[in-house]
Amino acid sequence: MNTSNPRSKIGLFDLEVNCLTKILFGALVVVSLVMVALQHFAGRWYLQIIRFLLLFSNIIPISLRVNLDMGKIVYSWVIRRDSKIPGTVVRSSTIPEQLGRISYLLTDKTGTLTQNEMVFKRLHLGTVAYGLDSMDEVQSHIFSVYTQQPQDPPAQKGPTITTKVRRTMSSRVHEAVKAIALCHNVTPVYESNGVTDQAEAEKQYEDSCRVYQASSPDEVALVQWTESVGLTLVGRDQSSMQLRTPGDQILNFTILQIFPFTYESKRMGIIVRDESTGEITFYIKGADVVMAGIVQYNDWLEEECGNMAREGLRVLVVAKKSLAEEQYQDFEARYVQAKLSVHDRSLKVATVIESLEMEMELLCLTGVEDQLQADVRPTLETLRNAGIKVWMLTGDKLETATCTAKNAHLVTRNQDIHVFRLVTNRGEAHLELNAFRRKHDCALVISGDSLEVCLKYYEYEFMELACQCPAVVCCRCAPTQKAQIVRLLQERTGKLTCAVGDGGNDVSMIQESDCGVGVEGKEGKQASLAADFSITQFKHLGRLLMVHGRNSYKRSAALSQFVIHRSLCISTMQAVFSSVFYFASVPLYQGFLIIGYSTIYTMFPVFSLVLDKDVKSEVAMLYPELYKDLLKGRPLSYKTFLIWVLISIYQGSTIMYGALLLFESEFVHIVAISFTSLILTELLMVALTIQTWHWLMTVAELLSLACYIASLVFLHEFIDVYFIASLSFLWKVSVITLVSCLPLYILKYLRRRFSPPSYSKLTS
């Protein structure tokens, strides 16, 4: 089911930052070579290259990775603390920015979009169907089989036709209910223990503390229904099973063999022996697509399965086969021999079981309903408005999947649906793809078998057409196919994918996606534990993407570009300084100044950008179109990178040339003026970048400024303390800082006035 090894996920944002870092490294080498070239490669020029590489090493923002990793920890903490999405767990804190750039969402159906709380709705026997309003008739039939019927009046010589028909129907209903009550993996669990004899056991059976446990909610729903109509599962262990009849009689059955359900076989079976009669019976239940070839010929199975599936019911086909003692002994011998095989064991075991699965008697169809989770419809609508295309991948029948897609509004009310015809070869696939190509703006519904054929012969054409659909529903989809679809979407579109599921069959899809989200459901925690993020309900996905994903991406983009700006600014000053002094490889700042610049003087204000947000969370949820802007990657691009590079060059040059023009007589005056102006410029640029002020941001700004002022007392080796206390120092620093920052403040004002971003229109 999940044969692939989990891959180590690296976020697209991290790859983009790595690419920018490579560009900066190239710039470092180029600048160093240019400086040496301007010296005409005089003397030991190769040593000069090394010296310049060390002088301009600040071009590479070494602290960037530390800041981003710390920011990811903050994002994860904020997600876990969000009271609007309780129970959310961040299992991978390395890719929170991925949540802000999802283009394709692939979701399971059962337990993800639905509650996975099954309610028995219908029993179909071919000629008659029983719904919720007629279950008392089923109960009456069961009661008539297991209780003493009143004698006919003396004048009546024999049973009437009506009585015969009723007894025949009662027998059919009884066989169907009995098969449902026996063919499962459900175990009844009682709170009270310590049963010592049968009398105590029977007394315990009547307690109201019985709870059914099973790996599948479908089976629990079926067993609960058989209890409601009179046939109750009261006991089970590895080798036996006990049923209680309406007359309080205990029926004992020996479990001879169990063939568990698998996603490949789509069925489960059990062989039991009735202890009272010695009769051996093989019961089997499964999906109609496989059971149709197992049961005896009939003319109603396919039609009624389709009718029930169109009502959104999950359909199971139940059948049986009576076995003679010799027949079972022969099967058991072959079955044991197959299990002992060293080579092709699974294939041989399956072959032996299939030899028994022939010409079985069709008993009934069962239909259970799985209601949608709360707020699934508005969540899917939010995702659609955010520009995210939703694909539903499910193992259910085509009609059931289509009904659920309509109910969940995955497919809008007036939207056309193209049901991909079942194809088995290349020619049929070609014709069907041509027919689908003529459709426009319609949802696609396709089965797993047809999907396999299309991907085998026309992978590129199919994916191209499917990616244009507003919604896609894949039914009868195997776990490996789910992972394959995710992989093809990544390869063909280059967009980010998010997979959502709740069961073990969704693990491969979750691990293959760029961002996996597991829903803690009734099928265990396999998906939740394998996912990058774990939620308790599907509706929480909207806030996880629209609010936390959007904020994480925008914050990291701002943080990374500001760290780059901080590094380039001081490197530009060093380049100007070296150029003025005949390209000498002399450091502008030394010792604690160069260390403190990127730590205590600017670290807290810059890192406080992880608390910034452009709009409130309520606005982000109300206008999911804001999320669509992020899909193009505009917050961090080559364009924004170039803008910040130009800003850094302008501010670094302004500060350095201003300090060189205004300094009085000593070199320490240049250091004092330029470094103080640099610190103030960085603090003002942080204030310019912030969209929404948080009290911690204010504290960070004031704390950094206070740390710098306080440290001046101890920096007498680099800065003239008497000079910085003079009025001349203050006005020179003020003028330089004003010239470096004021144009950017003016540009920001003009942009907001004449070309405001989309989010500012909602906050103004």
Q: What is the pLDDT of residues 618-627, one digit of tens each?
A: 999 999 999 9
Q: What is the CB-side half-sphere exposure of residue 357 using CA atoms within 13 A?
A: 23
Give yes or no for residue 668 having a pLDDT over 80: no
**Structure tokens that stand for 141 in this block:** 């039939």
Task: Measure the N-to-C terminal CA separation of the chain; round to a whole number of Å.
Answer: 52
Query: Is residue 12 domain-resident?
Result: no
pLDDT of 218 reads: 86
Query: Is residue 411 domain-resident?
Result: yes
Give yes or no for residue 354 having a pLDDT over 80: yes
Residues in the chain: 764
Query: Is residue 35 domain-resident?
Result: no
418 with 334, same domain: the answer is no
Query: Is residue 267 domain-resident?
Result: yes
pLDDT of 3 reads: 54
Give yes or no for residue 172 having a pLDDT over 60: yes
How many angstroms separate the CA atoms of 297 and 300, rounded? 9
pLDDT of 159 reads: 43
Sole residue written with tokens 């027998």: 171
- Give the pLDDT mean for 15-34: 94
322 with 441, same domain: the answer is no
pLDDT of 162 reads: 46
164 with 224, same domain: the answer is yes
Sheet holding 267-274, edge to edge: 129-130, 114-124, 361-372, 313-323, 280-286, 267-274, 250-259, 240-244, 232-236
Query: Is residue 256 domain-resident?
Result: yes
Active-site choice (108, 218, 514, 614):
108
Cα–Cα distances (Å) from 733 to 67, 571, 689, 730, 739, in that order, read 29, 19, 22, 5, 10
Give yes or no for residue 327 having a pLDDT over 90: yes
Residue 515 is classified by DSSP as: E
Contact between 123 and 130 under an 8 Å Cβ cutoff? The reply is yes
Going by C-alpha positions, the residue among 633, 541, 613, 644 that lies closest to residue 759 is 613
- Total number of domains in the chain: 3
- Confidence band for 752, pLDDT divided at 50, 70 and 90: confident
pLDDT of 761 reads: 67
- Given 368, 387, 415, the domain boundary residue is 368
564 with 511, same domain: the answer is no
- Confidence band for 161, pLDDT divided at 50, 70 and 90: very low
How many angstroms separate the CA atoms of 727 and 523, rounded? 73
3-state secondary structure of 384: helix
How many angstroms separate the CA atoms of 482 and 484, rounded? 5
Give yes or no for residue 234 having a pLDDT over 70: yes
191 with 205, same domain: the answer is yes
Query: Is residue 3 domain-resident?
Result: no
pLDDT of 210 reads: 82
288 with 307, same domain: the answer is yes
Give yes or no for residue 372 having a pLDDT over 70: yes
449 with 527, same domain: the answer is yes
- Give the pLDDT mean for 273-290: 92
**Structure tokens that stand for 297 in this block:** 């010929």
Cα–Cα distances (Å) from 235 to 138, 389, 566, in that order, read 23, 48, 72
383 with 359, same domain: the answer is no
Cite the annotated binding site for Mg(2+) by residue number.
108, 110, 502, 506
What CATH number is associated with residue 507? Answer: 3.40.50.1000
- Give the pLDDT mean for 499-523: 90
- Give the pLDDT mean for 119-145: 90
Contact between 366 and 222 under an 8 Å Cβ cutoff? The reply is yes
Query: Is residue 400 domain-resident?
Result: yes
Q: What is the mean pLDDT of the chain?
A: 88
362 with 306, same domain: the answer is yes
Least confident among 2-11, 437-446, 448-457: 2-11
Give yes or no for residue 4 having a pLDDT over 70: no
Contact between 116 and 370 under an 8 Å Cβ cutoff? The reply is yes
332 with 408, same domain: the answer is no
Q: Judging by DSSP bridges, how do beta strands 515-519 and 533-535 pair with one another?
A: parallel
Give yes or no for residue 151 having a pLDDT over 50: no
Higher pLDDT, 390 or 163: 390
- Give the pLDDT mean for 111-117: 86
Residue 108 catalytic? yes
Cα–Cα distances (Å) from 743 to 150, 654, 738, 754, in that order, read 102, 12, 8, 16
Contact between 535 and 142 under an 8 Å Cβ cutoff? The reply is no
pLDDT of 163 reads: 47
Q: Judging by DSSP bridges, how do beta strands 361-372 and 313-323 pair with one another?
A: antiparallel
Residue 549 is classified by DSSP as: I
3-state secondary structure of 268: strand
Give yes or no for residue 646 having a pLDDT over 90: yes
Give yes or no for residue 393 having a pLDDT over 80: yes
Cite the annotated binding site by residue number.
108-110, 219, 261, 285, 314, 394-396, 476, 482, 502, 505-506
pLDDT of 6 reads: 67
Cα–Cα distances (Å) from 162 to 134, 145, 166, 272, 290, in that order, read 19, 16, 6, 33, 36
Phi/psi region, residue 242 (left: phi>0; alpha: psi -120 to 50; beta: rest), is beta
Sole residue written with tokens 């994480």: 552
Give yes or no for residue 139 having a pLDDT over 80: yes
Contacts of 691 (CB under 8 A, 6+ apart): 612, 613, 614
Distance of alpha carbon 679 from the chain centroid = 43
- Confidence band for 763, pLDDT divided at 50, 70 and 90: low
Domain limits for position 508: 105-113+373-535
What CATH number is associated with residue 190? Answer: 3.40.1110.10
Burial 416-435 (b: 16+ CB within 10 A, else e): eebbbeebeeeeebeebbee
Give yes or no for residue 764 having a pLDDT over 80: no
592 with 558, same domain: the answer is yes
Give yes or no for residue 316 having a pLDDT over 60: yes
**Structure tokens that stand for 173 in this block:** 């209903």
pLDDT of 153 reads: 38
- Given 368, 384, 407, the domain boundary residue is 368
pLDDT of 207 reads: 52
**What percent of the chain lies above the pLDDT cut of 90?**
59
SS3 assignment for 724-738: HCCHHHHHHHHHHHH
Predicted model pTM: 0.83
- Confidence band for 762, pLDDT divided at 50, 70 and 90: low
Query: Is residue 739 domain-resident?
Result: yes
Give yes or no for residue 361 having a pLDDT over 50: yes
pLDDT of 318 reads: 95
Cα–Cα distances (Å) from 91 to 103, 517, 581, 713, in that order, read 22, 10, 54, 47
387 with 257, same domain: the answer is no
Provide, for the chain, the percentages of residues in helix, strand and coil under a 3-state DSSP scheme, each rounded to the nearest 5: 55, 15, 30
Going by C-alpha positions, the residue among 268, 353, 274, 354 that lies closest to residue 318 is 268
pLDDT of 701 reads: 94
- Given 510, 535, 560, the domain boundary residue is 535
Give yes or no for residue 179 having a pLDDT over 90: yes
pLDDT of 196 reads: 42
How many angstroms separate the CA atoms of 739 and 749, rounded? 16
Contact between 83 and 90 under an 8 Å Cβ cutoff? The reply is no
How many angstroms separate the CA atoms of 103 and 498, rounded? 8
> For the CA atoms of 542, 548, 554, 557, what is the dihedral angle to 10 degrees?
-120
